[in-house]
Structures are given as C-alpha cells and as structure tokens.
Structure 1
Amino acid sequence: MHMALEILVSVAAVLLGLAGLIGCIVPIVPGPPLSYLGMLLLALASGWLLYSLVVLVATGLAAVVAVVLDSLLPPAAGRRAGAGRGGVWGSIIGMLIGTVFFPPFGLVIGAFLGAYLGEVLYNRQNTRPLHAALAVLRGTMIATLIKLAVSGVILGYIGRGVFLLLQGSF
C-alpha cells in the first residue's frame, strides 16, 4: 500500500475511534460499533495482518455486548427499584434533551430529571419516585462507563494498529 493511502486509512480509523468515544456519551451515535469499524478498517488495510482473529472477534463481541447493555441496564435497574414506563421513557427523553441542550453533563442530569418527572407524572402510585429515578440514573451511568471502556480499549488497538501500519512492521 502507498504511504498516502496508509495515512488516509489511519486518519479515518482514528476519527472513527474518536467518534466512537463521543458516541458513548451522545445517545444517538453508536459508540462502540463506530470504534470497532475503525479497527476493522485498519485490519482490512493491512490484509488482516494487524490483529489476530481472537482480538477481532473479542472486540466485536464486546462492542455488541456494550450496546445491548446500554439498552437493558437503565430500564432493568429502574424496574428493580419500582420505576414504571414513565420513569424509563422519561430517562431516555431526558438524556436526549440534556445531551442536546446542556452538554456534557446534560446526559446525566437529563436522565435523572426525566426519570423523576416520568415517575411523578405517569406512575403516581409509586411512593418513591426519587428512588426509582436514582436507579435509572445508576443503570445509565454503568452502561455509559461500559461503553467508554470498550471504545477506549478499541481505540488503544487502533492506535497500536496505526503505529504498526505506518511503520510497515506488522
């Protein structure tokens, strides 16, 4: 491969990896899959020589698991604490609104306020809406940390791959 093409592929892979990290915070952007796509781009550019099959499969599975947990943890934590649909949906809507209008802390504040308001407005039989809102928030934070960890590890592999690709020593 020509050096200019290697540089272009490397820049694209790093940008995908960074977009993946941002996507861990921004609810609409699929963080770990974007990071993984950057890793796959480098692997393809090297003729599949940069990473072992085990590393590619393990990081791919980790990206999928992180995305699935992101969908399952907040509602599961909320339901366990007595939250209803209003709290869970309020959390999701609050995250979106908070992320757009109050970055970077809007994700956390929006998830909490949305869950609390959702519980107060739509689940009036819940005598502990604050407890449910905190549980949804806890699930959201744990899922976000898992996504950040997975995307961070993948970005580390991207950095290593870029170094090896540009050195021609893979």
Structure 2
Amino acid sequence: MELLYWVIIILLFVIAYFGLVYPIIPSVLSIFAGFLLYGILFSFAPFSWLFWLVQSLFTVLLFGADYIANMIGVKKYGGSKAGVWGSTIGLLVGPFVIPVIGILIGPFIGAVVAEILVEKKEIKDAVKIGLGSVVGFISSVFTKGIIQTIMIGYFLIVVLL
C-alpha cells in the first residue's frame, strides 16, 4: 500500500510540471497536495514550521517569477501594461485554441493584438513586443521549473533523511 501512496504523491508532483506549460493547471496546489497527502497517509511529523515557511516563500517566488518574467519580457521589447495583459490572456487561451504550440503562439498574439488595439503601435513594434512575451514566458517556465524542483527536493530531503 505504501508504494501506491508514493505513486500518487509523485503523480501530483508530475502534474505540477505539466502546469509549467499549461498554466490552467495549478502547479503549486499540486505540489502542496503532494505534501498534504504525505502527511495524511504517512505523518506530518517531518514538517516543521521551518519546512512550511520555506515552502511558502518558494510559493511566493513561483507567483512572482511568472508575472515578473512576463513583464520583463514585454517591457524589455518596448511593451506596455496592455501588452503584458494581452500576453497573459494569450497564455491562458492559446493552449486551448491551438493545442501544444498555442502555449507559444497565444502570448505572442495576445501581446501583439493588445499593443496594436490599445496602444496603437505599429505592427513591426507590436511583433517585437510579442516576441518579448515569448522570451518572458520561456524564462518563466525555466525559472519556475527550478523553483518547483527545489521545493520537491526539499520535501524529499525532509521526509527521506
């Protein structure tokens, strides 16, 4: 039975990684569900206040990394708040409209459309900003992947050592 419990916990962690490219999947909730499931099925004893504090700080970093990377990507290429919002909306909608590749095309189109419609930018400038949104998204995925790996690694150190 213990093996089945671990399989479920690991599955929750794997789902968190899918959330990196499908933002509709709440990665951090999946990670915390794995922690809580471990506590329920095995024991909460390994989880000190320090464990929860560290994991909470990493959670704040996860949310911050997402927004900041997107904002920097758009702003670095001359985008506005409208471009950031357009990129974010495109990121959420893109994968459902065009599965797989929509995760990259969505933020690009969202930023371009927002910059053209709201900020009245030239198409050339809007496309440059759209590329910045894709760079921001890729940076965000990479950064969040590292943070999630650290969170899960810290959990494993706490419960296995």
- The TM-score normalised by the length of structure 2 is 0.77
Name the structure 1 match of 2:18.
Answer: 22
* CA spacing shift, 1:110–1:9, aligned 2, 3 Å: same
Secondary structure at 1:87's aligned position in 2? helix
**Deviates most, 128-137 or 76-85:** 76-85
Distance 2:58 2:99 in 1: 27
* CA spacing shift, 1:74–1:38, aligned 2, 3 Å: same
1:125 deviation in Å? Answer: 4.1
- Please tell me the residue identity of whatever aligns with 1:78: V
- Please tell me the residue identity of whatever aligns with 1:130: V
Larger radius of gyration: 1
Name the structure 2 match of 1:130.
Answer: 127
Name the structure 1 match of 2:65.
Answer: 69
Cα-Cα RMSD: 2.9
Name the structure 2 match of 1:167.
Answer: none
* CA spacing shift, 1:68–1:147, aligned 2, 3 Å: same
- Please tell me the residue identity of whatever aligns with 1:61: L
1:47 deviation in Å? Answer: 2.7
Q: Figure out how many residues of one structure are paired with residues of the other and give that number.
A: 160
Tell whether 2:93 aligns with 1:97. yes
Instruction: String of CA shifts for 1:88-110, please: whole Å, max 9, x gaps.
Output: 22212222232113232211121
Distance 1:134 1:148 in 2: 21
1:144 deviation in Å? Answer: 1.5
Tell whether 2:137 aligns with 1:140. yes
Secondary structure at 1:128's aligned position in 2? helix
- Runs of at least 5 residues in structure 2 that lack an aligned partner in the other structure: none
- The TM-score normalised by the length of structure 1 is 0.73
Distance 1:58 1:11 in 2: 24
Name the structure 2 match of 1:116.
Answer: 112
Distance 2:125 2:139 in 1: 22
- Runs of at least 5 residues in structure 1 that lack an aligned partner in the other structure: 165-169
Distance 1:55 1:134 in 2: 38
1:132 deviation in Å? Answer: 1.8
**Deviates most, 111-120 or 37-46:** 37-46
